[in-house]
Amino acid sequence: MTTIPTAHRATAVAARATELSKVYGAGETQVVALDRVTVDFRQGEFTAIMGPSGSGKSTLMHCVAGLDSFSSGSVRIGETELGSLKDKQLTQLRRDKIGFIFQAFNLLPTLTAAENITLPMDIAGRKPNKQWLDQVIDMVGLSGRLSHRPTQLSGGQQQRVAVARALASQPEIIFGDEPTGNLDSRSGAEVLGFLRNSVRELGQTVVMVTHDPVAASYADRVIFLADGRVVDEMLHPSADGVLDRMKEFDAKGRTS
């Protein structure tokens, strides 16, 4: 079991967005998706990003994860500044330092579960760390299904493969885009449990976009976005607490 000293946790930052803005279009039709957002994602922390539709939560994640370009500001993953990177370097950064879990279309149907898990390392041409791999597979409980193809797995099992894939390459940070959006509540709880365990037990850093307060309650910290700005933050959230906060936004949204 790896425990990271609290002091260290507080200082080491896995990813940081500074004054990050993303603007679509120009003139009359201009839409500001992100408006000078500054946020840190600390190492070994499980962060949830929440907000109503159109708040910019997905855009923030995409920009920080190197999936999307931004208009101004800066994004750092570890020591690397993303703004100056070309597509090829960004791809390499995603490959080597970032893990992804999407809502759907996470797996390649032609590959077995095991092959899907090691895909990022195959792409990088690296040999997976056998011991670590076994540990991860064990944790998500897939030992018996490694030779199955995605079509032979349930939705929850598929998402567990995706979690294992994200963890297997030991990335600096894992991003999840509504990872439980397509799952029933039991499978969702399982997947969230694995993500939390990976943070607690393996010291992984996880950032997850969600609109589900229950999902958010698994995180160490919740960041609330509205109209492209960070409007609030909650530490050690509970599902009810998050729900109340969200209701507030909704009410505000309606009155303003």
Burial class (CB in 10 A: 0-12, 13-18, 19+), 132: middle
Nearer to other proteins, 122 or 232 (CB): 122
Q: Record the tokens describing residue 26, joined without a space.
A: 């120009």
What is the rounded CA–CA span in Å between residue 51 and residue 47? 13
Burial class (CB in 10 A: 0-12, 13-18, 19+), 166: buried
Binding of other proteins by 109 (CB under 8 A): yes
- Cβ of residue 150: shortest distance to other proteins, in angstroms? 11
Q: Which one among 4, 10, 31, 124 touches other proteins, defined by CB under 8 A?
A: 124
Binding of other proteins by 170 (CB under 8 A): no
Give me the helices (H) in 141-238, please.
155-168, 185-202, 213-216
Binding of other proteins by 182 (CB under 8 A): yes
Binding track, positions 48-87, relative to other proteins; x by CB under 8 A: --------------x----xx------------------x
Binding of other proteins by 25 (CB under 8 A): no
Nearer to other proteins, 4 or 123 (CB): 123
Q: Rounded to a whole number, what is the distance in angstroms from the first to the last CA of the chain?
A: 49
Q: Record the tokens describing residue 222, joined without a space.
A: 């919740």
Q: Which one among 43, 47, 55, 106 touches other proteins, defined by CB under 8 A?
A: 106
Binding of other proteins by 172 (CB under 8 A): no
